[in-house]
Chain A
Amino acid sequence: MTPISQPVSQPISQIETDTLQTISRTTWRYWLGLAIAVGLTAIGGWCWSQMLRHGLGVSGLNAPVMWGVMITTFVFFIGVSHSGTLVSAILFFTRSPLRAAIGRSAEGMTVIAILTAGLYPIIHIGRSWMFFFVLPYPNQRGLWPNFRSPLTWDVFAICSYVTVSALFLYMGMLPDLALLARRVTGWRKPVYRILSLGFAGTDGEWCLFEKAYPIFAGIVIPLAVSVHSVVSWDFAMTVMPGWHSAIFPPYFVAGAIFSGLAMAILLLGGLRRGYHLERYIKADHFDLLAKLLLAMSIVMTFVYATEFYVAFYRGGSTEAELFRWRATGSYAPLFWLVVACNTVAPLACFWKRVRRSLPAMIVIAVLVTVGMWFERFVFIVTTLAHSFDPAAWRTYKPTLIELGVCLGGFGWFLMLFLLFIKVFPAMSIAETMQGQHAATREGADE
């Protein structure tokens, strides 16, 4: 595969043609992917309609396990959302040439993942039409949200994050939308012109964008960290064994970056293969993502070990019993699946050949995605199923309806991503041009 340091040999204008392939060309692979995504979404929609019709009784949720597949999927997609904008913002600050290729898709993934995640608390409350109760607005009941509750913090954190991430994504797209408005014909021309907000590429505009972008990136990074910390506090602020731990915010942030990187590898791999973007999404990109994935895997392994170590060091506590049960009880196969996927499988990334092989990275990314979903499932369900009172211990088994809603979320996510790359450039044209020009200049200087 082409190394990143090698400048792309075609003229700058060719970059526009190549990177807009996702919009201009629709392959059978795209239609197949979209059909699968729409199908899964339809299954999820039908399952949710059953929940609305018959109530949460159709799920496997019951005391004491009142959080199951839906909250697991919520935490999972919040995690996926975490990595995109964060990685993009960090690559911006480090002036990395990798950003041009992966930044846009990663930012799009963030917004789409958070929109997907946001559905699950609404679904989970059962009477979804009452969701507006959590919003702070003057009402006849004289009730306001409880600002001392982490669940209320969550609403604010997620709303802030999705808003700022969407603006970050949109602002970065304006130059490309302006180019698109000049390129397309028919009804799409005025649409892109309106969406580009009149961007013309004047020096004054570029200076404004150069100033605005670091401000945005500076806002997005702490917001991204805060969002997953707040999600972790939904658990850590309780007194439940296995949850009430100070390690939870960094644990969640690391896990979020880990799962987000895996999802980014899957989406970028699909883009590269589906649209032959080998000149732009290169082996070096996957190499870097693989190294990050490996680093986060090691962090996760350390966190898993720390949790067990602290629980057993204290001795004789409910927590020690919980962790023993987690590794040997009813959910032990899932726990060891998590260990295999998140701790063992990414170790293959120590080998350069694996890091630079797209099929190998896709397999590892799938394993990590599966592992991270089950990791959330295991820590949520085992704590609730096996907490303080042995008389209340009970195992939880999700119903097909719940699993359908979960699959629907994955379909919804994929569908929105496929629609996103069909409407908006999947790579930053302006940044790719800039990077190409800089690389050509460097080559000429040498």
Chain B
Amino acid sequence: MSDELIAVFADPDAASHALTALAGEGVTRTRIASPAPFPAVEETGRPGPWRVLGWVALVAGLTGLACAMALEVVTSKSMGQIVGGKPPVSWTAFGVVMFEMTMLFAGIATFIATIVLAAITRRQVARRARDAVTSERIVVTIPLDGTNADHREAITRCVSAAVEVLP
């Protein structure tokens, strides 16, 4: 387990100020866990694989489109009947289901991807830090690997507004 300091703040602004001060001391790789997306979340450099979500939605949407086309064309051809004057393969009529399935697949895939990626990314924050979060407690984790005594003292000063510091 890596050496790290866990500072618990009661105020989102205090957490935000601490993160700014830590950045000034050259401490990067800080992480935060909070009950709401307060501005302090932005201070850690927006980590995580969130950029892939757009691509997941796009690929899943195109898959849904292809599935809808296949479903409609194959099933309509297997029956081969002209209904309402429209030929078995009638793209104007098929468009609606194609649209719906595109959106359906994109939505489901985005949800699954978000949940899976969230499960992966949350493991980068220590469990005891995650467990310390409540509606009135915002937790900042600071890596101490390779820091000397002076640096640690500076870090401690940066988190002086914390209501609790877990070693």
Whether A202 lies near B103 (C-beta < 8 A) is no
Interface string of A151-173 (1 = CB under 8 A from B): 01100110110011001101100
Question: Nearest-CB distance from B93 to chain A (Å)?
Answer: 4
Whether B101 lies near A160 (C-beta < 8 A) is yes
> Are A160 and B104 also in contact (CB < 8 A) when A198-B122, A215-B57 are?
yes
Whether A203 lies near B32 (C-beta < 8 A) is yes
Interface string of A229-268 (1 = CB under 8 A from B): 0100100000000000000000000000000000000000
**B33 in the interface (beta carbon within 8 A):** yes
List A contacts of B90 (CB < 8 A).
147-148
Whether A200 lies near B133 (C-beta < 8 A) is yes
- Selecting from B105-113, B143-151, B152-160, the interface stretch reads B105-113
Q: Which of A15, A157, A230 contacts B135 (CB 8 A)?
A: A15
Distance, CA A211 to CA B130, complexed state (A):
21
Whether A205 lies near B118 (C-beta < 8 A) is yes
**A336 in the interface (beta carbon within 8 A):** no
**A57 in the interface (beta carbon within 8 A):** no
Whether A164 lies near B104 (C-beta < 8 A) is yes
> Are A202 and B124 also in contact (CB < 8 A) when A144-B76, A219-B107 are?
yes
How many of chain B's residues touch chain A, expressed as a range?
35 or more
Distance, CA A305 to CA B87, complexed state (A):
37
Whether B122 lies near A202 (C-beta < 8 A) is yes
**A390 in the interface (beta carbon within 8 A):** no
> Are A204 and B97 also in contact (CB < 8 A) when A11-B136, A171-B114 are?
no
> Are A200 and B33 also in contact (CB < 8 A) when A206-B41, A211-B50 are?
yes
List B contacts of A375 (CB < 8 A).
none
List A contacts of B114 (CB < 8 A).
171, 208-209, 212
Whether B33 lies near A211 (C-beta < 8 A) is no
Whether A212 lies near B12 (C-beta < 8 A) is no
Whether B37 lies near A16 (C-beta < 8 A) is no
**A32 in the interface (beta carbon within 8 A):** no
Whether B117 lies near A153 (C-beta < 8 A) is no
Question: Nearest-CB distance from A172 to chain B (Å)?
Answer: 11
Q: Which of B32, B100, B107, B110 contacts A226 (CB 8 A)?
A: B100
Question: Nearest-CB distance from B31 to chain A (Å)?
Answer: 6
**B125 in the interface (beta carbon within 8 A):** yes
Whether A201 lies near B34 (C-beta < 8 A) is yes
Distance, CA A166 to CA B48, complexed state (A):
25
**A97 in the interface (beta carbon within 8 A):** no
> Are A167 and B122 also in contact (CB < 8 A) when A136-B75, A219-B57 are?
no
> Are A156 and B101 also in contact (CB < 8 A) when A12-B135, A163-B107, A210-B50 are?
yes
Interface string of B63-85 (1 = CB under 8 A from A): 00000000110011011000110
**A368 in the interface (beta carbon within 8 A):** no
List A contacts of B50 (CB < 8 A).
204, 207-208, 210-212
**A194 in the interface (beta carbon within 8 A):** no
Question: Nearest-CB distance from B67 to chain A (Å)?
Answer: 11
Whether A430 lies near B35 (C-beta < 8 A) is yes
> Are A157 and B130 also in contact (CB < 8 A) when A148-B84, A202-B125 are?
no
Interface set, chain A 288-337, CB cutoff 8 A to B = none
**A182 in the interface (beta carbon within 8 A):** yes
**A6 in the interface (beta carbon within 8 A):** no
Interface string of A140-152 (1 = CB under 8 A from B): 0011111111101
List B contacts of A404 (CB < 8 A).
none
Known pairs A167-B107, A220-B107, A433-B35. 12 more at Cβ < 8 A?
A145-B75, A146-B83, A163-B108, A200-B122, A204-B48, A208-B117, A209-B118, A211-B54, A222-B103, A226-B99, A430-B35, A437-B38
Residues of B within 8 A of A (CB): 12-13, 31-38, 41, 44, 46-51, 53-54, 57, 71-72, 75-76, 78-79, 83-84, 86, 90, 93-94, 96-97, 99-101, 103-104, 106-108, 110-111, 113-115, 117-119, 121-122, 124-125, 130, 133-136
Query: Which 9 residue pairs are nearest across A and B when measured between Cβ atoms?
Result: A204-B48, A204-B121, A144-B75, A13-B136, A164-B107, A200-B130, A433-B36, A148-B93, A160-B104
